[in-house]
Amino acid sequence: MPCTTILVGKKASFDGSTMIARNDDGFFDEKRLTVVLPKDQPRTYKSKLSRVTLTLPEDPLRYTVTPSVDPSNGIWGAGGINAENVAMTATETITTNSRVQAADPLLRSPDKAGPRGKAITGGLGEEDFVTVVLPYIHSAREGVLRLGSLLEEYGTYESNGIAFSDAEEIWWMETIGGHHWIACRVPDDRYVIMPNQFGMDHFDFEDALGKQERYLCSADLLDFVRDNHLDLNLDGRFSPRLAFGSHDDSDHVYNTPRAWFMGRYFNPRTVRWDGPNADYTPESDDIPWSFVPEHKITVNEVKYILSSYFQGTPYNPYARGDSPLKGKYRPIGISRTGVMAILQIRGSMPKEIAALEWICFGANPFNAALPVYANTDAMPGYLSKVTMDVDSDTFYWASRLIGAMADANYAACIQHIERYQAAIAANGSRLVHEYDKMMMESQNYSLIAEANRKLCAMARTEATATLGKVLREGSLAMKCGYKRADN
């Protein structure tokens, strides 16, 4: 699925937490946030798309997940946090090139239409990854190693990037062809920007095949690169992006502009992003994979950047006037997002309350990020009891309705949206601070369920009020409106 990811190391974040976040940009997918208990985790898993069957371990952990409401095409878990405070987001669809495809072809992608498709040849993909990995890992590194072993055994029919985090580390993993993979530990003082393109721009094979302190890969990857002449570097430094990725014309309107905007936001002074002497433009192929930010990054900023649509640039699709550049590039905050989650692991907090999941549904420019505690056996119905029927009494559908109406009347509605987003951000953080203090002082962590209910009640109040405001603005703008004074 076309998506955007940002990863924030613990020394680059405002409170020492690790943060991994991704827009799950499907096609208006209905999503919900729920918890899978160990007794409900399958012991035999069968993929809906590729029909691969695998036996899962007998000791799964509890975990949160944001599956598709419609199960007909599989679970599509998107991301979550397990009982050991390990987070995973899967996946960022990435690019590859024909040289990689020739050397290690992707398994034949199944044709969901059925009658027109050829025989399905198997493999695991985005549909499966969270379900078969997250319940069985106790660290971010373990997540890479488990998924890597599954890829080597079963293969994949698509190219993907996957993030794992715990209180200390963030690891980013990218698939290469049908059976190979590569991974890097994100430096603690950096943030990573990932549009739908192969990302890593540096890799140390000596470490990956030796101490494995910062790099991991499939065991035969170096031979794979040499045997297939994939290394295109002239300076002796291996660039995975150059070897395994793409720099197509389509990247320059769909992918690289998003990386440009994210870097421009967090590093406006240390890098030149605009003008004739810019270091990087929206169509540069060499925008770095990671940066040291100019200031510590907050949750609110992660939400803002994943909601952005080139504000303050000529490419803003909502800009006034008829500039030929307006809407030229694919925005980060796009209409068809199903869910976005910021998975925050707070290493300074007791393990019972270390994990927060900031959940958003629908188009990010118009939705709000609601924090909930992940270490729980159930999520409130406002988040979990989503159906295929439009219903403003769930956070998912309220968010979708607000977005569609606000977009149609952007100028009139944007002030309501900004106030709505600020209210949930402030009230959500306030409630988290209150319950953090209460639970640490009392050592009563069963209050998590009460905290999540109060957070959802607050969000319901704010969303309902905002829905009424944007509905009124839309009603006032209806073309069938008429007053006698109009004559």
Element containing residue 146 per DSSP (H, E): helix 140-154
| Rounded alpha-carbon distances, angstroms, from residue 47 to 7, 31, 110 | 28, 19, 11
The alpha helices in 317-389, defined as continuous H runs, are: 381-384
Residue whose tokens read 């794992």:
164
Q: Which of 3, 184, 360, 413 is catalytic?
A: 3
Q: Do 157 and 109 touch, CB atoms closer than 8 A?
A: yes
Residues 6 or more apart in contact with residue 464 via CB below 8 angstroms? 392, 398
Count CA atoms within 13 Å of residue 85 on its CB side. Answer: 21
Q: How far apart are the first and last CA of the chain?
A: 51
Residue whose tokens read 């980013």:
172
Identify the CA nearest to 194 among candidates 278, 305, 104, 328.
Answer: 305
Count CA atoms within 13 Å of residue 169 on its CB side. Answer: 16
What tokens were used for 10? Answer: 């613990």
In the residue annotation, 413 being an active-site residue is answered as: no
| Rounded alpha-carbon distances, angstroms, from residue 360 to 81, 86, 432, 447 | 16, 20, 17, 23
**203-212 burial, b for 16+ CB within 10 Å, e for fewer?**
beeebbeeee
The CA-based angle 282-171-337, given to 5 degrees, is 50
d(CA 143, CA 397): 32
What 3-state class would DSSP assign to 75? coil
What tokens were used for 462? Answer: 């704010």
What tokens were used for 37? Answer: 């208990």
Residues forming the active site? 3
